[in-house]
Amino acid sequence: MPNILLTRIDNRLVHGQVGVTWTSHLGANLVLVANDEVSHDEVRQNLMDMVLPDTVATRFFTLQKTIDVIHKAADRQKIFIVVKTPQDVLTLVKGGVPIKEVNVGNMHYAEGKEQLTSTISVDEDDKKTFKELHDLGVTFDMRKVPDDKRNKNIMEMI
């Protein structure tokens, strides 16, 4: 069983909050960015690597590669998975990735989305996806950084 410490939804993927604050809080030694676009974009990968401590390894995998290799993770790997959308989480869960808890960190506002908090906006597809994940036993918390008070469960807001 892979040692997944937490999965975070953040449409910015890896940045200062994720790279420094969350990684050190969790004690992660591997950040796995599961994103089809970034897995093929070395420039974005290099930018994300710059904000991570040297003691933390990174992997940039497609969603499918994450599904295919996650169960081969070594016991010593303390994994922090970062994805862009709730739909990415659902793909991973349906693919057999044992995700139990998701931190909903940042989902930008766009036309057609309802703003739930200052950093989280959802559309109908997002709501449906969160409900499906909840039905699959996934729990959620909505914090920007670990020191934030645990916010209301997203399920109470949608």
CA distance 127 to 155: 9
Residues 6+ apart with CB under 8 A from 30: 56, 57, 58, 59, 73, 77, 78, 79, 80
Contact 17, 97 (CB under 8 A): no
DSSP helix/strand/coil, 96: coil
Query: With 0-12 CB in 10 A as exposed, 13-18 as middle and 19+ as buried, what is 80?
Result: buried
Q: Give catalytic status of residue 15 as yes or no.
A: yes
Catalytic, out of 15, 40, 108, 134: 15
The residues annotated with a catalytic role in the active site are 15
